[in-house]
Amino acid sequence: MHDMAEMREGDSREAAAGEGIPVLPIDDSRLTMMRRIKALPVAERIGLLDRMCREQTRIAVRARRVR
């Protein structure tokens, strides 16, 4: 396993592609969004992750009800 300090930005994407995990293409809008999120303070990033997790939980619960 690589040390995080030794890894280049492209290493993780290449490793994921080799493992059969689909890698999304990074277009300009996605890259801009990722940079904007990276610039957020830690507390705001945690809040955003919390909202995303809650939304995904609601989606999963609804999907089970539909079945």
Residue 19 domain-assigned (yes or no): no
Report the percent of the chain where pLDDT is more than 70.
67
**pLDDT in the model for residue 30:** 83
Answer whether residue 56 is part of any domain: yes
Compute φ and ψ for 32, nearest 5 degrees: -60, -45
Q: Is residue 13 part of a domain?
A: no
Q: What is the mean pLDDT of residues 5-32?
A: 65
What's the CA gap between 46 and 51, in Å, rounded?
A: 9
- For residue 44, tell me if it sits in a domain: yes
Q: Which domain holds residue 65?
A: 40-67
Q: Can you give the pTM of this predicted structure?
A: 0.49
Residue 35 lies in a domain: no
User: Which of the two residues, 2 and 19, has the higher pLDDT score?
Assistant: 19
Q: What is the mean pLDDT of residues 13-37?
A: 74
Domain count, the chain: 1
| Any domain includes 64 | yes
